[in-house]
Every structure is written in structure tokens, then in C-alpha cells.
Amino acid sequence: MTDTAETGALPVEGVPAARVLDEIRALRAADRPTHGGRLFAYVYDPGVAGLDQLAQAAYAESAHVNGLDPTAFPSLLAMENALVGAAARLLGGGPGTSAPDVVGSVTSGGTESLILAVKAARDARPDLAEPRIVVPVSGHAAFAKAAHYLRVALDPVPVDPVTLRPAVADVAAAIRPETVLVVASAPSYAHGVIDPVAEIAAVAAAAGVRCHVDACFGGWTLPWLRRLGAPVPPFDFAVPGVTSISVDLHKYAYAPKGVSVLLHRDPGLRAPQFFAYADWPGYTMVNPVIASTRSGGPIAAAYATLRHLGEDGYLRLAAVTRDAVAGLADAVRAVDGLRLLAEPESTVVCFTADDPELDLFVLVDELTARGWHTQPQLAYAGLPASVHLTVTAAVAPRVAEFGPALAEAAAAARAAGPVVLPPELLALAGSLTPEALTPDLIAGLAAGLGLGTGPAPDRMAAVNTLLQAAPVRLRERLLVEFVGLLQRPTW
């Protein structure tokens, strides 16, 4: 953006509405396609005609409603309670179940739900000076963020390189007297595998510790897949010892972004999640979640989406998605040198390459060049680099095209050969400490990789190869620096 008069956010004279919208549409043209089943991360598209329009209308109805005070806006409270009830019922709670007293809150997303699950667990144990949480390394990075924000120590548990699940004995061994929460994923985002929730919850319960099931990704698919006959292991409130569950409505409930639900087995478990403050001269404040002022837009849009799709809609979408997953997995199996890292058991297809001539990061770029947007995952702790596909219902009509595209991209990646970075750069990446990174060094690295203040380069294989060569702490620091270069004001 160079022409400030044209694109600045605060022009001297206001711009007519139609032109503003045109400008936004022009900016959006550079984005990855949110609809159409060719983007396998970030977005969840059911491909249902009219659903976007409904959600947008519902969003607009409530955009200016403030969730700060549920007594001032009972419409929002009613919709939140309905969303929590629906999520609880889907996940083994509510009247007539073994968890009749389930309560919950609507949050802005999975990360907020997880931070609040950790906060509730921490604040339930004010006697502990140094609380800790036990999280399999396949658990979402948001747990590390929660630990960091809340000053709780993180005890990671390794996962088996074949099953990609933690051993229950390792989870049990990681629990200490200071442990306030044990985590299981249903499923993990990276690989889409479901942790042994029943066993993990049992060891947590035996130690008197809360157990959170992160079903942010799978909580709105696994129940339907089970109804369709898939062998989904118990992972919800039917499992004794599970004390809280998170499920994101902006993922597989296909609601617009900004809505997740955090459920607790009973009100007592939820209580320490809340924050109240009356020790100031302003309004007495009570916040169930992190934000104080909250737009009603996402909540109304989620409510409209659930009501419109209904159980039959979600069941149908789950069946379509299940078949798409099977088709994509077959496409991977058909390409020499590629291997599924895990047999799909939910809605993720994750594969790796066994052939050193087939560089996965180059393959991802070749797929991008052909209009297919997949997500590369760096090698980590004995696990190989992999490619992640989040599969949604909108992918189904594309499956037949994906196989040939994958084969073609793999052939092109082989022909191009693996990324070769200058040996001195690789040596630097392997040996640098984050503290040794100077602004000059960062600027030089970024320029060398084509990362500047503009959009990211079309080909990211070199960036991914460099990041992969770096130890974890340096990876983090480089990411912060590179994104910091992007986040600069336009004047």
C-alpha cells in the first residue's frame, strides 16, 4: 500500500460506501480462497448455499450488542445459553446423562477456551505457589500460550512416533503434587489422532486432578461420525474424570469466526474461571471470559448457523466429509514416496515423504502453484516433517481433482529437487541462539528469503527449510521477527 490517499484507513474526506466495499474486495483478492474446497487449513466451509447470507444477516442483527452485561442484553444471554446447551448435549452432558449439571461459556475461540480452562484449574488451587499442567506434545500450542500467560509450568509428555499418542504411563508419571490440569486432545490438530481420553482421565482422577479434553477441532465432528458408525472412542462427559471440554463452533459447526464453547462438568468447576471486580468507582464488573466488551455478532451468527443446519444437516455434512477424507487418503496412498503419517480417524489427512528426493516443502509450493493450499508442518522431536489437510464438507466435490494434482505436484517437486540452502546459512540456523540475533542479521535473513514488508513470497520452501534447521527456541524468535516485519503501520 503506497498510495495513502487511496487506501489509508483514515482519509481526509470520507469515501462513499460502495467504493469502500470495492476496496475491501480488491484487498481480499490477494487472500487464499475461503470457499471452494481448495484451502485445507484456516477455514471451515460446508459448501451450503445460503448459509453465509444467513450468518451475515444474524451477525448484523447483533453486531452492536455488548456481551459485557447479560442483564442489559437478554437476547445474547439466551443465545449463549442455547449454544452451551447444544454443545453440552452433543458432548455427553445435560439432563438424563451422567453429567446432568454441565455448564459453560461462549468464548471467542479455541485459544481463549483453553486459556480459561487452565485459569479455572489454576485458580481452583490457590494453595499452590507453582501450579503445573501436563500436556502431550501433540496438544495444541494454545496450552503453552496459556501456561505462559498465566505463569503455570508446562510438563510436556512425548508422543509415540508411530501412534502419535502419549503413553498413559508417561502421563501418569508426569503428574506431580502441583499439577492442576491434565490435557487430552480429541483429536490433535497436527495429526488428527484421538488421545486415549478414558485412560488419561482415569489417571488424572486418581490423582485428584482436573482433566480437560481439547475437542476444539473434533467436538463437532466426532459425535456425528460416531452416529454414522465410525469407531470413535469415548472422549466426552460420558468418560468419568473428564472435567471440562472445549469445542469450537467456528470450526466444524461452520459458524463464522469468533465462537467457541468451554464446558465444565459442574458449576463448581467453572466458578474459578470467572473474574469479578468491585473495588473501583465504576460499574461492578463480572466477566466469565477474557474479553469484557464482546460483540453479539459472532454469537448470533453461530446460533443462526446451528438452528439452520440442525442435527440432520450436520450428520449429512459429516458423511460428506468422511467420504472426502477417505478419497484424499487414497490420493496420498497412490503417490510413490508419500505416506500417511496416521490413518485418518477424524477429519484430518496428514502425510509425510519417505523419499529424500521428494521435498515436502517443495511439494506444498507446487500444490499452491496449482491452486491447492495445504499446511506444512516442520519436523519436531523425532517426528518427520508433514503436510496437514483439514478436510471440510466443501472439499468433497474437489476430491477427484486432488489426486491428479497431488501426483503432478509430487512429480514437479521431484524434478525440482530438494531445497538447498547455502551450507553456511544452515550452519548458522543450527548454531545461533535467539539472543545472538541482531536486527541486521534478521534483516539480512529476511531479505535473503524474500521476506520483506510486503506479502509473503509465493514459494515458502526455503523459509520452511531454514526454520526446520533451527532449534525450537530460534524458530520461535525468527517467526516473531519475520511477522514483526509484516506488522508495520501504513501511513
Ligand X SMILES: Cc1ncc(COP(=O)(O)O)c(C=O)c1O
Residues that bind ligand X (CB under 6 A): 109-111, 114, 140, 142, 185, 189, 214, 216-217, 248, 260
Q: Which is nearer to ligand X, 201 or 338 (CB)?
A: 201
Shortest spacing between CB 142 and ligand X, in angstroms: 5
SS3 category, 286? strand
Strand bridging mode 179-185 / 210-214? parallel
> Is 294 in contact with 106 (CB distance < 8 Å)?
no
Residue at grid coordinates 448455499 = 49
Roughly what angle, to the nearest 10 degrees, separates helices 141-150 and 110-123? 50
List all residues 6 or more positions away from 317 whose beta carbon is below 8 Å from its beta carbon: 46, 48, 224, 254, 309, 393
Q: Which is nearer to ligand X, 189 or 237 (CB)?
A: 189
Hey, what's the torsion of the CAs at 303, 304, 310, 313, to 10 degrees? Answer: -120
Rounded CA separation 472/198 (Å): 31
Shortest spacing between CB 213 and ligand X, in angstroms: 10
Residue at grid coordinates 520452511 = 464
Rounded CA separation 343/155 (Å): 28
Shortest spacing between CB 51 and ligand X, in angstroms: 19
Shortest spacing between CB 216 and ligand X, in angstroms: 3
Shortest spacing between CB 294 and ligand X, in angstroms: 15
Q: Which is nearer to ligand X, 182 or 432 (CB)?
A: 182
SS3 category, 329? helix
Shortest spacing between CB 460 and ligand X, in angstroms: 19
Which residue of this chain has its Cβ atom nearest to ligand X in the complex?
A: 110
Nearest to 193 by CA among 50, 324, 340: 340
Q: Which is nearer to ligand X, 185 or 468 (CB)?
A: 185
> Is 485 in contact with 453 (CB distance < 8 Å)?
yes
> Is 474 in contact with 434 (CB distance < 8 Å)?
yes
Shortest spacing between CB 459 and ligand X, in angstroms: 25
Q: Which is nearer to ligand X, 94 or 258 (CB)?
A: 258
Shortest spacing between CB 424 and ligand X, in angstroms: 36
Q: Which is nearer to ligand X, 179 or 346 (CB)?
A: 346
Q: Which is nearer to ligand X, 108 or 468 (CB)?
A: 108
Shortest spacing between CB 149 and ligand X, in angstroms: 13
Q: Which is nearer to ligand X, 87 or 432 (CB)?
A: 87
Largest CA distance in the chain: 69
Shortest spacing between CB 386 and ligand X, in angstroms: 15
Roughly what angle, to the nearest 10 degrees, separates helices 472-486 and 461-469? 140
SS3 category, 309? helix
Q: Which is nearer to ligand X, 374 or 465 (CB)?
A: 374
Strand bridging mode 348-353 / 386-390? antiparallel
**Partners of 155 in the β-ladder:** 134
Q: Which is nearer to ligand X, 84 or 409 (CB)?
A: 84
CA distances from 302 to 145, 291, 298 (A): 26, 18, 6
Looking from the CA of 183 toward its CB, the CA atoms found within 13 Å total: 32
Instruction: Give 369-380 as a DSSP string.
Output: HTT-B-EEE--B
Q: Which is nearer to ligand X, 125 or 257 (CB)?
A: 257
Shortest spacing between CB 55 and ligand X, in angstroms: 17
**Partners of 373 in the β-ladder:** 39
